[in-house]
Amino acid sequence: MNNRKSKRVACFFAGLVFSAAVSCLYAQQNRDPKAEGDMVLDRLVKVTAEVMKGAHDADMAIVGNHAYIVYQGNDARPGEYYVWHDQYVAMSIVNIETKQVAEVIPFARSEQGYENERLLPGAIVGARIFQKDEQTLRCYFASDNMGVRQEQVYYIDFDLASRAFSKTVQRMKMKTSLGVHDMQPYYLYMCARRQGFRENPKDCGMYFTDTFKEIDGKIYAALCNGHNCQNAFGMMSNSLDTFEIVGHIFDQKLNLLEPAVNRLPDGTWMAVCRTEIGNYKGNFAFTFSADGKTWEPANFTDLIPNGMESKPTFDLFNGVYYLGWQESTQINGVHRSVFNIETSTDGKTWTRKYRFETDRSFQYPTFKLHNGHIWLVVTEGNKGPWGNSKERIMFGMLE
């Protein structure tokens, strides 16, 4: 690592160590992070339909006074599992002023037929959404059937005026060092092999982990295949139908997963990643890149001393970074029941702003800025056989 990078990384981690003391000072001089979190929890509302028994991993777009929330779910049992073929994706339309759910629209199921294609048997997962233009929302999802075929990522458009989905579905494309192909795990894997990735290939488990971020007119996203701990950073084409791989994020000693990526004030890209191996199992590692192509070895920090296996968040709103992470502490024995949010204006010195503690769980949140307010969607559930279940999607205002 050159001197410039060494100084930058050392400065970043020094700031993270210092942030623990800053967090304590914040709690003493201002409102307590838990009190802040409790207020947010009190105003969350359920947006999934009563028929849905399991729900997880929501994303949203907000247009006017309505939130358009997409997620995966099923009507048979609590939770989610990538081998359940009855798992589908749906959209809830919510009035952000009244918090009333206007409509719930399932839009992709196993073997669903469209005018141009019928989906193959499999689980439908990984719902994501982005506003394409003034009249159109573009929704993404993946069709999985582990061990049978390659997973395929699709997109379908939603018309805001008629509140109707297109009658056709399109196969998402992916641009890699191999060329442009259908967006399938095989091509991501073969591209990563050229960069030294040596884990075994997997035919499913690939989806967009981080919410889409628009930076300097380009749309960036992080991609993950959770079954072999393979991640990539890239950007969307202008037509939003092709995802171009810019760089690969992996560490075969730490097994990184579900990166959340953003750009720091000095132009450096930073990714916070879930880990799945060794003494650091469940904690979160940080890695940096000057250009998004080549990523430095991942490191750990005292900012997150006791994280656990779950998806982090890393957003920039009104000049302030919001870094969210799952803590291993359990409330009443519930898995994923504590989630923290650290804030920073420079990406170096961090202050604890929110601490969510709930025995209903608080996991896989997504945050979006709209009309000066930050809104969130999050997975919630009651205590189940594994400590918690993923049963419903909740929506509300963060600040």
- Tally of structural domains, the chain: 1
| CATH assignment at residue 36 | 2.120.10.10
The band of 302, judged by pLDDT with boundaries at 50, 70 and 90, is confident
Asked whether residue 369 carries a pLDDT value surpassing 70, the answer given is yes
Residue tagged 């989905």 (tokens): 165
Count CB-CB contacts under 10 A for residue 54: 24
What would the pLDDT profile of 215-261 be if each residue is shown by its tens digit? 999 999 999 999 999 999 999 999 999 999 999 999 988 999 999 99
CA pair distance 325, 312, nearest whole angstrom: 5
305 confidence band (pLDDT: 50, 70, 90): confident
pLDDT over 70 percentage in the chain: 91
How many whole angstroms separate alpha carbon 229 and alpha carbon 359?
29
Q: How confident is the model at residue 164 (pLDDT cuts 50, 70, 90)?
A: very high
Q: Is the pLDDT of residue 20 over 70?
A: no
- Which residues are 179's β-sheet partners? 176
Residues 268-285: what's their mean pLDDT? 85
Q: Could you give the CA distance from residue 357 to residue 159 in angstroms, rounded to a whole number?
A: 38
Q: What is the pLDDT of residue 276?
A: 84
Residues 377, 396: Cα–Cα separation, whole Å: 7
pLDDT (tens digit per residue) in 99-131: 999 999 999 999 999 999 999 999 999 999 999
Give the pLDDT score at 91: 98
Instruction: Evaluate if residue 8 carries a pLDDT over 70.
Output: no
Average pLDDT over residues 345-357: 96
Spatial contact of 57 and 82, defined as CB atoms under 8 Å apart: no
What average pLDDT does the segment 63-76 reach? Answer: 98
Full domain range(s) for residue 190: 3-397
Rg (CA), the chain: 20
Mean pLDDT computed over 313-318:
98
pLDDT confidence tier of residue 343, bands split at 50, 70 and 90: very high
Average pLDDT over residues 9-35: 58
Q: Is the pLDDT of residue 133 over 60?
A: yes
pLDDT band for 17, please (50, 70, 90 cuts).
Answer: very low
- Per-residue pLDDT, 357: 98
Q: How far apart are CA 124 and CA 28, in angstroms?
A: 46
Q: What are phi and psi of 280, to 5 degrees?
A: -95, 10
Residue 321 has pLDDT above 80, yes or no: yes
Dig out the tokens for 395 from the structure.
Answer: 């929506």
Per-residue pLDDT at 14 exceeds 70: no
What HEC string does the chain produce?
Answer: CCHHHHHHHHHHHHHHHHHHHHHHHHHHHCCCHHHHHHHHHHCCEECCCCCCCEEEEEEEEEECCEEEEEEEEECCCCCCCCCCCCCEEEEEEEECCCCCEEEEEEEECCCCECCCCECCCCEEEEEEEEEEECCEEEEEEEEECCCCCCCEEEEEEEECCCCEECCCCEECEEEECCEEEECCHHHHHHHHHCCCCCCCCCCCCEEECCCCEEECCEEEEEEEECCCCEEEEEEECCCCCEEEEEEEECCCCCCEEEEEEEECCCCCEEEEEEECCHHHCCCEEEEEECCCCCCCCCECCCCCCCECCCCCEEEEECCEEEEEEEECCCECCECCCEEEEEEECCCCCCEEEEEEECCCCCEEEEEEEECCEEEEEEEECCCCCCCCCCCEEEEEECC
Mean of all residue pLDDT scores within the chain: 92
Query: Is pLDDT above 80 for 375?
Result: yes
15 — pLDDT class (breaks 50, 70, 90): low
Range in 153-162, 194-203, 280-289 the model is least confident about = 280-289
Structure tokens at 330: 């359990």
Among residues 120, 116, 122, which one has the least CA distance to residue 157? 116
